[in-house]
Structure 1
């Protein structure tokens, strides 16, 4: 087994954490949980499976939490792996990691996995959701999470990236009520991120080209095209593009709900947050920043 330390951010993940940890045990010599003071059995389950637990208050910023965890864990293994609690490695990916990693050339610093997303037990194959390539495994000390409010990626300070063939699976088992609540929070974070890009409240790293070319292409399209379209209209246009032109309608009917909620409802929610904030601030950058930080409780 190649020496790998896994980092998992958690808050009330008792439905997922055992599945995630067990999938990592085949490849990782160390598993670290960065917990935001869960009130369910997350810590109990993780500890019983041999994971180390670190507690740190959530600041409504994934990048801050992950980078804090990477530092707090004081990782000494050759490789570091990032995974979400509701994800797991397939057996095929476990085998690929164990077979290939130790033999990699020293100039390879990062490994991309292909993510396979399931919704209500059905694979989201179309609508631009597959394949999604994410840099999840990197040589310790050479990777960090870029400082963004949303759509954060691991970026490398040096070296090249390759892609493994097998999958990490994203399958959240929570209810739609939970999903809606989560995306209500996401919508404000994404709105704040868009407003930050527009008004330049603070410097934000955008280094995804160095570690994830697919993410860089998508982000460039979003900033140069999508964000320039009128509020509201762009959400409708995106849903039509995704459901019709990217063949989302070919997915299972259960997945149509996901395409509608994530591709239209959520995008409209982001736009409404932007509209309300700009109207309240009369597009004054200082007042906008105050609204985001004091009323939305989001720090840049």
Structure 2
């Protein structure tokens, strides 16, 4: 059994994805912990066949689900890799993990993986989506889930981190090939994000990660979010869409890519802004 790291995976009806992920890490011989939120398909049988340790927790949002997983699994290794079921480890990343030694990273508490995101079978290479670094490998007991976020599931570690630019996570949610699934999913996400941003406006939430433009990938994201919150609602979705398509060359992603950038950068953000106004109006009504 791998003594360096273990995997934690979140699942909900992932029978289409879980075998693909398991195949990509086969040979690493690492313990697998799966936190399921009520799957009704073959997910749990696949997990059992893979000898994974399974816990169940009702889903509220991703940050809280990761918080539960990190606090309730009895992980025995010094490191844990936290992945989504729709992600796949490439052979190059597999090799990096195969050669990983804790002794060589004594002053490191987290490792960023480079992600390739796919939409309807197409790699979204432009629009600011590549390279895209995610903190996915953390020192267990040191790293934690940022529950100040409502939608973005962000892991946080104190101290030093490093970035693996070679090797990738391939992220492709095959269920999103049906646009109705994508819309329903992001409609739910828009509720979470609108609530979060409204609470930040009312000083009910604070950022966990220190905003720094020249900091780690997550610190830069925190800096950009702070700028985003100050932009005028209804204007910022269009600005963001133009930025991604023109300035970050999203137009080169072709028709499928343009659909993705429009839906993710403009449509989704516009819906969030509308819901923020609804929440603020409700707040004012309740306060009278």
* Fold in common (TM above 0.5): yes
**Conserved in 2, the CA contact under 8 Å of 1:144 and 1:155?**
yes
Rounded Cα–Cα distance in structure 2 between residues aligned with 1:22 and 1:141: 28
Rounded Cα–Cα distance in structure 1 between residues aligned with 2:105 and 2:73: 26
Q: Alignment partner for residue 282 of structure 2, among 268, 280, 283? A: 280
Q: Is residue 89 from structure 1 mapped to residue 86 from structure 2 by the alignment?
A: no
Partner residue in 2 for 1:194: 197
Q: Alignment partner for residue 262 of structure 2, among 235, 254, 260? A: 260
Aligned length: 281
By how many angstroms is 1:111 displaced? 1.0
Q: 1:177 to 1:219 in 2, by over 3 A?
A: same
Rounded Cα–Cα distance in structure 1 between residues aligned with 2:238 and 2:78: 46
Partner residue in 1 for 2:28: 27
Partner residue in 2 for 1:61: 61
Question: Structure 2 regions of 5+ residues with no counterpart?
Answer: none
By how many angstroms is 1:252 displaced? 2.7
Rounded Cα–Cα distance in structure 2 between residues aligned with 1:182 and 1:257: 16
Rounded Cα–Cα distance in structure 1 between residues aligned with 2:238 and 2:256: 20
**Conserved in 2, the CA contact under 8 Å of 1:155 and 1:207?**
no
Rounded Cα–Cα distance in structure 2 between residues aligned with 1:51 and 1:14: 14
Rounded Cα–Cα distance in structure 2 between residues aligned with 1:8 and 1:250: 33
By how many angstroms is 1:208 displaced? 7.4
Q: Deviations over 1:191-247 (max 9, x none)?
A: 1111121102245533576xx7122212212222x2222211111111011111110
Partner residue in 2 for 1:296: none
Partner residue in 2 for 1:125: 125
Question: Structure 1 regions of 5+ residues with no counterpart?
Answer: 288-300
By how many angstroms is 1:95 displaced? 0.5
**Conserved in 2, the CA contact under 8 Å of 1:6 and 1:28?**
no
Q: Deviations over 1:236-284 (max 9, x none)?
A: 1110111111100011321111111101110101001101111222276
The residue matched to 2:105 in structure 1 has which SS?
coil
Q: Deviations over 1:6-44 (max 9, x none)?
A: 111111111111111222333352001100111111111
By how many angstroms is 1:152 displaced? 3.0
Q: Alignment partner for residue 215 of structure 1, among 198, 213, 218? A: 218
Rounded Cα–Cα distance in structure 2 between residues aligned with 1:231 and 1:103: 49
Rounded Cα–Cα distance in structure 2 between residues aligned with 1:48 and 1:144: 29
Partner residue in 2 for 1:236: 238
By how many angstroms is 1:150 displaced? 2.2
After TM superposition, the score normalised by the length of structure 2 is 0.91
Q: 1:77 to 1:37 in 2, by over 3 A?
A: same
Q: Is residue 227 from structure 1 mapped to residue 236 from structure 2 by the alignment?
A: no
Partner residue in 2 for 1:290: none
The residue matched to 2:84 in structure 1 has which SS?
coil
After TM superposition, the score normalised by the length of structure 1 is 0.88
